[in-house]
Amino acid sequence: MSPIEEELRAAFERHETLAPPIGPVRAKIDMAWARARRRRLVRRVTGAAAGLLMAGAGVPVVVEQWQHQVAPAPAVIGSLADEPAPTGPLDVLLLGSDNRLRLHDAKNRRADTVMMIHVPADRSRIYLVSLPRDGEVKLPGGARAKLSETLYFGGPALTGQVVSKLTGVDFDATVTIDFRALRAVTAAVGGVEICLPLSIKSAHNGKKYPKGCQHLGADDVGPVLQARYGFMVGSYERDRNSQRFLRALFAKLTADGTTADPGRLHELLVAAKDGLEIDGDAGALLGAVPKTAAQVVGIGAYSFAALGSGREQIYPKVGPKLYQAIRDDTLDEWVSANPTLITK
């Protein structure tokens, strides 16, 4: 062994204790590789759909930008079954915009709901993490704004960029949806059963929705999900009701077999297409949806952390560990340690 080799070996031995454990490092490498494979999946699905088109099947193509496009046909959705099943956790940013038909400019919209959806690698649960829409964020360039306003200033791409910087979460897709889509999907499934812990007197249709479990039809979705006045915690309770609605909707879709039926999924996408945008890895998004019942867990820290601007800080106390748990796919442990932050 040469003197240089001996010196290198000695140096490695001196610093060996500083090396991180192999297991966690390997797990993070595997997680990053799984995400990279999922991002490539959408391009493979697009290519398969193009082949069907050239063969004369005439089915729509799944594209990375679904903005106002025709929804993928059952044959294309079904082709996901031939692809390797996405592995590892899935992170989706869900934006609930105010009605884009309300104003002449379609871009003049705000995000009433900003929610991170985390599906763990074992697909046993779906976590819904709401972020306060009035929370203050820093825009590229240094200006500050409400989180809800990022949808107006730069569309879903800017909101995704801001939330990723805030949380460190790398999203596989961003889904933007408005009440047109929610009403259409609710009508298509025949309504949902939701349990409200507080009664609601709608400012939109004057209808009263009592405390307790009840059936919501398409015309009830907007009044219930937009309600915030009269609640002690205001828009925080609106975020909880959004989580409850999504929990009820998923229960309905799994109970009737929709999540495992390409034809039925196609019908829902067609119904929702005017109020739905999907940016990112659409293939992974469809492929990773649990086909059977999974527990849907709503998460939110509903206390106002005021700033001098009149806005609020976004989860200054619970945020760091919460975001870390999402990145590490250990939300089950975080939930067990923070039961008061779970939506009932």
Q: Which residue has the higher pLDDT, 63 or 263?
A: 263
The reported pLDDT for the residue numbered 102 is: 53
pLDDT at 106 over 80: no
Q: What is the DSSP letter of 342?
A: B
3-state DSSP call for residue 96? strand
pLDDT confidence of 203, banded at 50, 70, 90?
A: confident
Which positions ≥6 away from 325 have C-beta within 8 Å?
Answer: 331, 333, 334
The four Cα atoms 276, 279, 280, 285 give a dihedral, to 10 degrees, of -10
Q: Which residue has the higher pLDDT, 127 or 23?
A: 127
Cα separation of 148 and 131, whole Å?
10
Cα separation of 176 and 111, whole Å?
9
Segments making up each domain of the chain, as ranges: 88-341
Residue 318, judged by CB atoms within 10 A of its CB (0-12, 13-18, 19+), counts as: middle
- Among the residue ranges 10-14, 269-273, 280-284, the one predicted with the least confidence is 10-14
pLDDT confidence of 144, banded at 50, 70, 90?
A: very high
Q: Which residue has the higher pLDDT, 323 or 5?
A: 323
Q: What is the DSSP letter of 164?
A: H
For residue 58, count other CB atoms closer than 10 A to its CB.
9
Cα separation of 162 and 296, whole Å?
25
For residue 182, count other CB atoms closer than 10 A to its CB.
22
pLDDT confidence of 256, banded at 50, 70, 90?
A: confident
- Of 191, 167, 160, nearest to 328 by C-alpha is 167
pLDDT confidence of 163, banded at 50, 70, 90?
A: very high
pLDDT at 43 over 90: no
pLDDT confidence of 171, banded at 50, 70, 90?
A: very high
What phi, psi does 173 have (nearest 5°)? -160, 155
Nearest 5 degrees, angle CA 90-CA 91-CA 97?
A: 140
The beta strands (E) that lie in 51-199 are given as 90-97, 111-119, 125-131, 136-138, 144-146, 173-177, 192-196
The beta strands (E) that lie in the chain are given as 90-97, 111-119, 125-131, 136-138, 144-146, 173-177, 192-196, 200-201, 208-209, 212-216, 276-280, 295-299
- Bridge partners (DSSP) of residue 194 are 214
Q: Tell me the per-residue pLDDT of 211-250, one tens digit each, with 9 for 90 and over.
A: 999 999 999 999 999 887 777 666 888 899 999 999 999 9
Cα separation of 238 and 31, whole Å?
34
pLDDT at 187 over 80: yes
pLDDT at 312 over 70: yes
The amino acid sitting at 138 is K
Which positions ≥6 away from 43 have C-beta within 8 Å?
Answer: none
CATH number of the domain at 88-341, please?
A: 3.40.630.190
pLDDT confidence of 190, banded at 50, 70, 90?
A: very high
pLDDT at 122 over 80: yes
For residue 206, count other CB atoms closer than 10 A to its CB.
8
CB 63 within 8 A of CB 51: no
- Of 167, 148, 168, nearest to 158 by C-alpha is 148
pLDDT confidence of 49, banded at 50, 70, 90?
A: very low
Distances, alpha carbon 35 to alpha carbons 39, 171, 176, in Å: 6, 9, 21
Give the mean pLDDT of 10-18: 59
3-state DSSP call for residue 231? coil
Percent of the chain scoring above 90 in pLDDT: 44
